[in-house]
Structure 1
Amino acid sequence: MKVVPLRLRPRVDLRLALEDWMGQQRQQAGCLINGIGSHSVARLRLAGRQEITTLTGDLEILSLAGTLSPDGAHLHIAIADNSGAVIGGHLCAGSLVRTTAELVVGLLPEWRFSRELDPATGWAELRISPRAPD
């Protein structure tokens, strides 16, 4: 595994930045090892819901985890508001960094991740396969 630290600056869309970054990598499989920081806008899809919940204000990123592939990401986040109330769910596009996002990403050169529609779930789910030798 190759480990890469990243820092995202204010007003960057956290999800889109990670997807763009992964699309530029030679490796075709990645995972979030750690992610902390803050949001001014957080857009989440909560468990079992179709609609997106949008939160605004001073929000702390307590944890960020997920998988990265050249054709998309599956990211879960736990965030707290300024009263300490915590909420978590799927991180959606439009979630903007407030002050910083400090990330540690693992790249997995022996694997290939992709997303394919799974008829059983109705979602684009992770497909894992060994990467072909160069």
Structure 2
Amino acid sequence: MEALPLRLNPGDDLRGAVEQALRDAGAMAGYLVQGIGSLSVAQIRYAGLAQPTELLGDLEILTLAGSVAPDGAHLHMMLSDARGRVFGGHVGRGCIVRTTAELLLVLLPAHSFSREHDPLTGFAELAIRPAPAA
């Protein structure tokens, strides 16, 4: 395992930056083990819904975690608004950093992740394989 701490800047797209960090590192598998920071826009898909819900305002990331493959990330996040209400769900594209996001991405060089259709769930799910021999 290799730890890759990340700091995102205002205006960065959270999910896009995590996916790009994995590609930039030349890795085939990773886990985002924690994240904190703030967003001005969040795109959160709640359980059972097909489309994300957009949240606007001063939002604090309370926790953020998930798997990252070269063909996409599966991230979940809990956040709170300025009134202390807590929201959580699947992280969509378009979550925009407000002041900062501090993340810990762990790279797994012995593995290769991809998203593949699973006939049992009907969704593109995580496929875990050994990394190809170098």
Gaps of 5+ in 2: none
Structure 1 counterpart of 2:77: 77
2:45 maps to amino acid: R
Secondary structure of residue in 2 paired with 1:99: strand
Structure 1 counterpart of 2:3: 3
- Displacement after TM superposition at 1:34 (Å): 1.2
- Once the two structures are superposed, residues 15-74 of structure 1 have per-residue CA deviations (whole angstroms, 9 ceiling, x without a partner) of 111112212222210001210000000001101111210000000000000001111000
8 Å CA contact retained: 1:23, 1:71 = no
CA distance in 1, matches of 2:4, 2:23: 15
Structure 1 counterpart of 2:67: 67
1:2 maps to amino acid: E
2:8 maps to amino acid: L
8 Å CA contact retained: 1:42, 1:96 = yes
CA distance in 2, matches of 1:24, 1:121: 31
Are 1:20 and 2:20 an aligned pair?
yes
Are 1:43 and 2:43 an aligned pair?
yes
Structure 1 counterpart of 2:56: 56
TM-score by length of 2: 0.97
CA distance in 2, matches of 1:121, 1:25: 31
Secondary structure of residue in 1 paired with 2:60: strand
CA distance in 1, matches of 2:116, 2:84: 37
Tell which deviates more after alignment, 115-124 or 104-113.
Answer: 115-124
CA distance in 1, matches of 2:43, 2:87: 11
**Deviation >4 Å, runs of 4+:** none
Gaps of 5+ in 1: none
Secondary structure of residue in 2 paired with 1:18: helix
Give RMSD over aligned pairs: 0.9
- Displacement after TM superposition at 1:125 (Å): 0.4
CA distance in 1, matches of 2:24, 2:93: 18
Secondary structure of residue in 2 paired with 1:105: strand
8 Å CA contact retained: 1:4, 1:106 = yes
The count of residues paired between Structure 1 and Structure 2 equals 134
